Amino acid sequence: MEFMICMPLKIRRMLQNVLILITVFFTSFCNLNADDSLVGDRKGTFALIKTDKGTLPVQLFPKSAPQTVSHFIKLSQKGFYDGIIFHRVIEDFMAQTGDPLGNGTGGPGYQFADEINAKALGLDKILLRDAPEFHGRLQNYVIRSMKITSQQELDRRQNEANRIYSNLMKMSVMDFLIKSGYQYNDQLDSKKALRGSVAMANSGPNTNGSQFFINQVDTPHLDGLHTVFGQLIGNYEILDKIITSGNGKSKILSIKILKR
């Protein structure tokens, strides 16, 4: 310290600036390593989603959803997600983000297809009658297919609607979803929408962009509808904080892609 005091002011300030830079570098380096340690000794491709509530470590599934993971990695590395809020969070459901507009309508300027194997999810073996989580969707499908536009018309044609509904209940969930416009790829190793699953948000078949959500609970009613491309592997309490905070109260600071 005495040595620095005896030095000329200009040189002393220069050394002080160098020390500050070194401190910042090592602090950042330690923080990066701390985030990397969330992955442990796992092998694969990971996304470290740094938020203002903490870091969400996610293992990506390039074999299950190769194009989806590729799009996500490219957007992450370009800094697309930096500063984007979690615009839609629902307790005991999920946290959704990835919209640059922050209102649920934005995206990267393009859309791409779903990557889902309904058979890998077992949807070809489950009949609609045994899957109550899809019954609401089935009712809406019947009403749309009959082009019913009012409650009065539905009341008048209720017997016809019931016959169609009963016949469709005999179908598998997969066949019903195909009938609804979804397309599936039998070559993919698709994952179910479980607690911690990271999946693409969409507005219907093949409308993926940049928005994605992270499940707080299992969501079997989303199987076959959304491409699952990753899994949270720790820090579930961070996800809980994001959801508890409410809509728009949390944001992504950066996303680091890590391959091992």
Asked if 24 and 114 sit in the same domain, the reply is: no
Asked if 32 and 56 sit in the same domain, the reply is: no
Long-range pairs for 161-165: beta carbons < 8 A, 24 or more residues apart: 165/138, 165/139
Asked if 61 and 86 sit in the same domain, the reply is: yes
CA distance 208 to 41: 32
Residue-by-residue pLDDT tens, the chain, 260 positions: 444 445 566 666 666 666 655 554 545 444 446 688 888 889 999 999 999 999 999 999 999 999 999 999 999 999 999 999 999 999 999 999 999 999 999 999 999 999 999 999 999 999 999 999 999 999 999 999 999 999 999 999 999 999 999 999 999 999 999 999 999 999 999 999 999 999 999 999 999 999 999 999 999 999 999 999 999 999 999 999 999 999 999 999 999 999 99
Q: Closest by alpha carbon to 227, among 209, 245, 253? A: 209
* Predicted local distance difference test score (pLDDT) of residue 3: 46
Asked if 15 and 34 sit in the same domain, the reply is: yes
Q: Is residue 201 part of a domain?
A: yes
Asked if 64 and 161 sit in the same domain, the reply is: no
Asked if 165 and 233 sit in the same domain, the reply is: no
Asked if 33 contacts 212 with a C-beta cutoff of 8 angstroms, the reply is no
Q: Sheet of 252-259: strands edge to edge? A: 88-90, 94-97, 212-215, 197-200, 228-232, 54-60, 45-51, 252-259
Q: Is 238 exposed, middle or buried (0-12, 13-18, 19+ CB in 10 A)?
A: buried
Q: Closest by alpha carbon to 108, among 21, 35, 211, 38? A: 211
Residue 118 corresponds to which amino acid?
Answer: A
In order of 120, 122, 139, 178, 181, the CA distances from 174 in angstroms are 11, 8, 16, 6, 11
Q: How many domains does the chain have?
A: 3
Q: Is residue 203 part of a domain?
A: yes
Region of 256 on the Ramachandran plot (φ > 0 left; ψ -120 to 50 alpha; else beta): beta
* Predicted local distance difference test score (pLDDT) of residue 40: 87
Range of the domain at 2: 1-39
Asked if 49 and 112 sit in the same domain, the reply is: yes
Asked if 34 and 46 sit in the same domain, the reply is: no
* Predicted local distance difference test score (pLDDT) of residue 171: 97
Asked if 209 and 116 sit in the same domain, the reply is: yes
Contacts of 217 (CB under 8 A, 6+ apart): 92, 93, 94, 195
